[in-house]
């Protein structure tokens, strides 16, 4: 296990705000290099942050950053992101598959274009970004792929609740765990990471439950701190796991999680889906 991400290069899909940005900022505090592949070139009327403001925050936190304006659904953009990352920082040590689309519509209500969007961003994006970076990961000293996706739970409760979204998130996990098996001999770690409670993000506020759910959610920092612990682990030993945020932190000695939900009793936190 290493004790710092200083000098490591992280290639992340998304990351303009929320959980992805929190993970990037945690790595930046060590002096990591961060490349963000995201579409948010200009401000959104309802959402804070662009890929450019995120890059500035990363630099302010102590890291180096490049903003690659592009879409993880576009193969040319993926290749350009990897090329620019390697050109700027000399390689890729870590891939974080953060970009994801959330749509909990039931099967008869889920429009084909929304189904395709989730498959393209969540599953295909995870597979293709990881695939494009793998030649460079294989040359890295402690390479990691980390996908923000859940353990594969075949309980009908989740399979039937929102089949389209469930398939897309499980697809992220399957791609990641498949690569863990395929590239184990090359020493490339690939793991998934998922929280037990909802996280204060725009998606939770706008799609899941509004301000009431936001108030009963933990801050993105809990995800970032857990991801940081994962990315420090020795890649050849710590791979092919469906990790839970709170369990990762407990293993690291962090048992008091109140810092991530100030003023909210543990019993009042809203459980996340899939667990």
Q: Judge whether residue 95 has pLDDT over 70.
A: yes
Task: Point out the residues that are catalytic.
Answer: 165
Decide: 48 and 74 in contact? Cβ < 8 Å.
Answer: no
pLDDT score of 254 more than 80: yes
CB neighbours of 24 closer than 8 A, spacing ≥ 6? 10, 12, 15, 34, 36, 54, 58, 63, 65
Nearest to 92 by CA among 103, 100, 102, 81: 81
Confidence (pLDDT) at 214: 87
Q: What is the pTM of this model?
A: 0.96
pLDDT of residue 208: 64
pLDDT classification of 45: cutoffs 50, 70, 90: confident
As a whole number, mean pLDDT of residues 64-74 equals 98
175-193 tens-digit pLDDT: 999 999 999 999 999 999 9
CA–CA distances in Å: residue 86 to residues 5, 21, 137, 203? 17, 21, 11, 31
Q: Which of helix, strand or coil describes residue 147?
A: strand
Q: Does position 232 have pLDDT exceeding 70, yes or no?
A: yes
């Amino acid at each position: 296990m290493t004790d710092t991400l200083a000098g490591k290069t992280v290639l992340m899909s998304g990351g303009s705000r929320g959980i992805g940005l929190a993970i990037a900022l945690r790595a930046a505090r060590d002096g990591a290099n961060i490349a963000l592949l995201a579409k948010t070139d200009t401000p959104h009327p309802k959402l804070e942050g662009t890929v450019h403001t995120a890059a500035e925050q990363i630099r302010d936190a102590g890291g180096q950053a490049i903003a690659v304006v592009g879409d993880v659904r576009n193969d040319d953009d993926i290749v350009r992101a990897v090329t620019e990352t390697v050109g700027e920082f000399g390689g890729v040590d870590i891939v974080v598959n953060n970009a994801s689309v959330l749509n909990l519509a039931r099967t008869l209500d889920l429009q084909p274009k929304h189904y395709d969007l989730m498959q393209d961003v969540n599953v295909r994006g995870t597979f293709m970004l990881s695939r494009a970076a793998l030649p460079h990961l294989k040359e890295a000293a402690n390479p990691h792929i980390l996908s923000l996706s859940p353990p594969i739970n075949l309980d009908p409760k989740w399979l039937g609740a929102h089949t389209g979204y469930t398939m897309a998130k499980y697809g992220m996990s399957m791609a990641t765990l498949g690569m863990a098996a395929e590239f184990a001999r090359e020493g490339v770690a690939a793991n998934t990471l998922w929280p037990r409670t909802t996280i204060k993000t725009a998606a939770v506020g706008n799609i899941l439950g509004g301000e009431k759910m936001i108030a009963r959610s933990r801050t993105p920092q809990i995800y970032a701190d857990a991801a940081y612990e994962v990315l420090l682990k020795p890649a050849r030993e710590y791979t092919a796991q469906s990790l839970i945020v709170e369990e990762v932190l407990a293993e690291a000695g962090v048992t008091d999680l109140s810092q991530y939900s100030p003023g909210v009793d543990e019993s009042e936190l809203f459980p996340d889906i899939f667990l």
